[in-house]
Structure 1
Amino acid sequence: MPIYDSIGKNYSTSRIPDTRIAKKLIDLLNLPQGSIIADIGAGTGGYSQLIANQGFSVYAVEPSSVMRIQAIQHPQIKWFTGYAEALPLADKSVDAVISILTIHHFSDLAKAFQEMQRVVKDGAIILLTFDIRLAQKIWIYDYFPCLWEEALKFLPLNEIANLIQVNTQRNVEAFPLMLTHDLSDLFAAAAWRRPEMYLKPEVRAGISAFAFYDQNLIEQGVQKLMNDLSNGEWDKKYGEILNLQEVDIGYRFLRAKF
């Protein structure tokens, strides 16, 4: 069963696609309007929607029926049920491929990259992923060490890039995604300047590391954060972060092209 069949029931309430991330994707794609873009692991279709609104056609591939049912229908989006390792798309049927914060859920990265290469023509393959080793260890991980521990299980960025190169014969470039303080897409570290967001069950439910970790430990972190926010301890320890407009917490776009 796809993991988001169990944890994705209210995904669209906290994972609202951020227009700036979509714009960066479109800039990196560098394709004319009307091009067909495959969105692998499209979830509820948020980024597919934003890209389709800019004049592109999107093939949204998602294994979870719970996620697909939350999608808003769009005339330029065609939905497919399937996994990255066995894409339900014909050879050379799309102009480019994107996959946004998904590859840590893939069961076989090499096979997934081979499949992306199979279905795409000459356009780019673009992934948004992260490598915690490139990040400063900010306050979130003091309250929720599970986020740090889970992230350390993911492959380093250079190993991912190497896997892409080996399985697609493409050159890979990395582009940092600086996290602004007001992101609408509340993925793991997105609320770095809004600690109160992590007190909300619906926000934590949209972050897989929270959903799969020992809930007793999560609740301990929530309680400690709640106490520290109310008694001023959080502000005393971490308040300087409120002066920052953006931070680099290890998120990267990887663009593979010929």
Structure 2
Amino acid sequence: MSVYDSIGQSYSNSRIPDPRIVKQILNLLQLKPGSTIADIGAGTGGYSKSLANCGYQIYAIEPSLVMRSQSQPHAQVQWFTGCAEDIPLPTASVDAAISVLATHHFSNLEQAFREMHRITRKGAIVIFTIDPRFANKFWFADYFPSLWQDTFRFFPPLSNISELIGATTQRSVEVSTLMLPPNLSDLFVAALWRRPEMYLSSVVRAGMSAFALAEPSVVELGVRQLAEDLTSGQWQAKYGDIKNLTEFDAGYRFLRAKSDR
């Protein structure tokens, strides 16, 4: 059973595709409108729908019924029940493939990359992920230290991922950075770097697997301390300078695997 069968019930409430992420994905794919894209680990289909709205045919691959049930029908999005390690599409059946913040839920990265390469013709494979080792110091770790440490465990070093993709697919891999703006609509775990008060919302936290999979008592302790510090002004005194920033590097990266065949 997909982990999102248990934690994904309200996922679509806070994980709204951000147009800047969509734009960067399209810039990396470099496809003509009408091309076919496989979205691996598509979740509720937010990014699938956004790409379809730009004129692409999308095959959305997602194992969780709970996630798929929250998707909105779209004429150019076709859904498939399946996982990254066994993609239910024929060989060389799509022009490109993407995966947006999903690789940490893959059970076998090597097999997943092999499958993404198998189904893709000459187009790129674009993966949006995070390597916290590249992140600037983030106040989040002071309130939720075990959750931030789990990020290091769930997400291997980017160099390891790049090497694995290259060895598995014989593709060359390029890395690009997503500097987080302060007003992202897709509320993944570090998206609220300048909006600390939003971490107090249980609805917002429910859309972040880092919170949903954590020990509730640990989360409650961090939330309580954050609420107290926001009320007392302690957070502002210690971390308020971050609100002067217009962008923040929390370690989010795009990997673009190009085929030379």
Please, what TM-score do these two structures have when normalized by structure 1? Answer: 0.99
Matches of 2:193 and 2:120, distance apart in 1: 35
The alpha carbon displacement at 1:230 in A equals 0.4
Which structure 2 residues correspond to residues 240-251 of structure 1 after superposition, within 5 A?
A: 240-251=241-252
Matches of 1:4 and 1:87, distance apart in 2: 18
Question: For the aligned residues, what is the CA RMSD?
Answer: 0.6
Q: Does 1:225 align with 2:230?
A: no
Matches of 1:158 and 1:186, distance apart in 2: 26
Aligned to 2:111: 111
Q: Does 1:89 align with 2:89?
A: yes
The alpha carbon displacement at 1:132 in A equals 0.5
Q: Does 1:43 align with 2:43?
A: yes
Matches of 1:244 and 1:136, distance apart in 2: 12
Amino acid paired to 2:149: E
Does the 8 Å contact 1:127/1:253 carry over to 2? yes
Q: Does 1:60 align with 2:63?
A: no
The alpha carbon displacement at 1:197 in A equals 0.7
Aligned to 1:131: 131
Matches of 2:218 and 2:77, distance apart in 1: 40
Aligned to 2:183: 182
Matches of 2:94 and 2:28, distance apart in 1: 16
Does the 8 Å contact 1:146/1:209 carry over to 2? no
Amino acid paired to 1:159: N
> What count of residue pairs does the alignment treat as equivalent?
258
Aligned to 1:204: 205
Please, what TM-score do these two structures have when normalized by structure 2? Answer: 0.98
Matches of 1:148 and 1:211, distance apart in 2: 13
Counterpart of 1:128 in 2: which secondary structure? Answer: strand
Q: Kindly tell me: are residues 147 and 137 of structure 1, through their superposed partners in 2, closer, same or farther at Cα, counting changes over 3 Å? A: farther
Matches of 2:95 and 2:248, distance apart in 1: 32
The alpha carbon displacement at 1:147 in A equals 2.5
The alpha carbon displacement at 1:30 in A equals 0.3
Amino acid paired to 1:78: Q
Matches of 2:18 and 2:85, distance apart in 1: 27
Aligned to 1:191: 192
Question: Gapped runs of 5+ residues in structure 2?
Answer: none
Deviations along 1:84-120, one digit per CA (max 9) or x if unpaired, are 0000000000000000000011000000000001100
Aligned to 1:6: 6
Counterpart of 2:129 in 1: which secondary structure? Answer: strand
The alpha carbon displacement at 1:146 in A equals 2.4
Aligned to 1:255: 256
Matches of 1:229 and 1:2, distance apart in 2: 36
Question: Which ranges of 4 or more aligned residues in structure 1 deviate by more than 6 Å?
Answer: none
Deviations along 1:206-257, one digit per CA (max 9) or x if unpaired, are 1111111111010000000000000100000000000111011100000000
Does the 8 Å contact 1:177/1:251 carry over to 2? yes
Matches of 2:149 and 2:244, distance apart in 1: 27
Amino acid paired to 1:42: A
